[in-house]
Structure 1
Amino acid sequence: MLSLLLLVFLVELGAHLVNTIGAATINNLLWNLYLALPTQTSKQAAENKKLQKDYLTIRRDLNATSSQDQFAKWAKLRRQHDKMLEQLEKMKSSYEASKSKFESSIGIVRWTATTGLKFILPFWYAKQPMFWLPQGWFPYYVEWVLSFPRAPVGSVSIASWQAACTGMVLLASDTVAAILGLLFGAKVTPEQPFEGGTEKETIPKSQEAKSKKES
């Protein structure tokens, strides 16, 4: 069974990932994964894609056909074009409705698994100690603060453990971001010309000729 210590950490980690990646990005990723499954929605999406491809072909042929010189062909293509356009509009409405319903369901699950648990767990397990501190290692006021609000004195409360997990996740995230910035964001600076005294100084030709003339 998943321990309460690990559960609190995973909730804080999940909430941080959602805030970092973004809810819209997660919704799109899960929606694409859902479309990869053999469901009715994925079947409709494949049919919509095929119909859209056929519609673009008919539209291209229609634009390339003269309504005056080839009226019969143009009229036939026009009827097919209008029929496919109407089908596409209906499929698009159904597709958008399915996607909106999916995103609403995912939003409820995501909120419950992150923000909801962040409030429910400290309230439900407020009196339960996460773990006990070594006896005599800390002064009384430190033990009282770590057990706040309702855990036994001498233990670490779920609120304190939650705050510690939040700090650990933020610290790890900043560390990873800094390392990635150094690896991928560093720019190679061009070599600067050496300006020391060992470089051969160039003398203008006018000054060189003048010095020869004086000598």
Structure 2
Amino acid sequence: MHPALLILLCVLATSALSAVGHARITSLLSPLYLRLFHARAHAHSRAARAELLRLRLELGGISAQDDFAKWAKMRRRVDKLQVEAEAGNASTQAALSFFALLIRAGMLLATTVFPFVLTTYYGKTPMFFLPPARPNAPEGTTWLGPIGWVLSLTAAPAVSAGVWSTVVTRVLGLAIGAVASVSKDVQGVRSKRAAAQAGTAAGAEGEKAGQKSAVGAGGKGEKKMQ
């Protein structure tokens, strides 16, 4: 695979990860993580919570004055299950916190460290060769002039990996921003249109109600005159 295409795919992947965000990725993958690595503890915690809810409902139907022995026995079971449920919740929260830390570290590696290593590895590899200024121009001279020299740093006379990565990231960011702005404008127009339609419908219903009231009042007046 050509290095330019590889860097382009890397920028697309990192931009997608950044757009989704750490919190959303963590919330989406947390259930899968618990099922794969903490299945037994998670299942036990869920069963304890379900049993605790059932016993609390059953305890609510027992009178402590009429049947104190049964009520006390049920109360001890509820307290024991509550302790187990709290311990299970604490264990689950600790596992989720560790998983969130792993996701954060993984995103740091994927969005910062890996692109840096990739552009450094291909730092002297030309991405695109710049056209010369003229047929007999000195070596390294391009039709972009000094700008061509800046674009070809560490990879003259071609566009370097660092510059290519920066340009792709910038263009992709502008494209994402433009799409988000257009989407926001479209949603705003739809909301205004829906509000206008709702107002028109409410006005029409009000007019119909007024006409019915006027007709009813006219009928009553005619009956009184008769």
TM class by shorter chain equals: 0.7 to 0.9
Matched, 1:60 2:66: no
* Comparing 80-89 and 40-49, the one that deviates more: 40-49
Evaluate the alpha carbon distance shift between residue 4 and residue 64 of structure 1 in structure 2; reply closer, same or farther with a 3 A threshold: farther
Which of these residues, 192, 196, 215, is aligned with residue 190 of structure 1?
196
SS at match of 2:196: coil
For residues 9-20 of structure 1, the aligned pairs below 5 Å read: 9-20=8-19
SS at match of 2:162: helix
For residues 126-137 of structure 1, the aligned pairs below 5 Å read: 126-136=123-133
User: Which ranges in structure 2 are unaligned for 5 or more consecutive residues?
Assistant: 134-141, 201-226
Q: Which residue of 2 aligns with 1:42?
A: 39
Question: 1:40 deviation in Å?
Answer: 4.4
SS at match of 1:145: helix
Deviations 1:73-101 (A, max 9, x none): 21121111011112112222222232223
Calculate the TM-score normalised by the size of structure 1: 0.75
CA distance in 2, matches of 1:144, 1:50: 67
Q: Which residue of 2 aligns with 1:161?
A: 164
Q: Which residue of 1 aligns with 2:224?
A: none
Which of these residues, 71, 83, 88, is aligned with residue 85 of structure 2?
88
CA distance in 2, matches of 1:182, 1:167: 23
* Comparing 157-166 and 4-13, the one that deviates more: 4-13
Q: Which residue of 1 aligns with 2:22?
A: 23
Larger fraction in helix: 2
Evaluate the alpha carbon distance shift between residue 146 and residue 174 of structure 1 in structure 2; reply closer, same or farther with a 3 A threshold: same
Question: 1:120 deviation in Å?
Answer: 2.2
Deviations 1:3-54 (A, max 9, x none): 422332233333333433321221111223334x5x3413432332222111
SS at match of 1:123: helix
- Percent identity of the aligned residues? 33
Evaluate the alpha carbon distance shift between residue 3 and residue 108 of structure 1 in structure 2; reply closer, same or farther with a 3 A threshold: farther
Aligned length in residues:
188
Matched, 1:151 2:150: no
Which of these residues, 177, 181, 185, is aligned with residue 180 of structure 2?
177
What CA RMSD, in Å, does the superposition of the two structures yield over aligned residues?
A: 2.6
- Partner amino acid, structure 2, of 1:15: T
User: Which ranges in structure 1 are unaligned for 5 or more consecutive residues?
Assistant: 194-215
CA distance in 2, matches of 1:102, 1:190: 47
CA distance in 1, matches of 2:127, 2:52: 62
Q: Which residue of 1 aligns with 2:214?
A: none
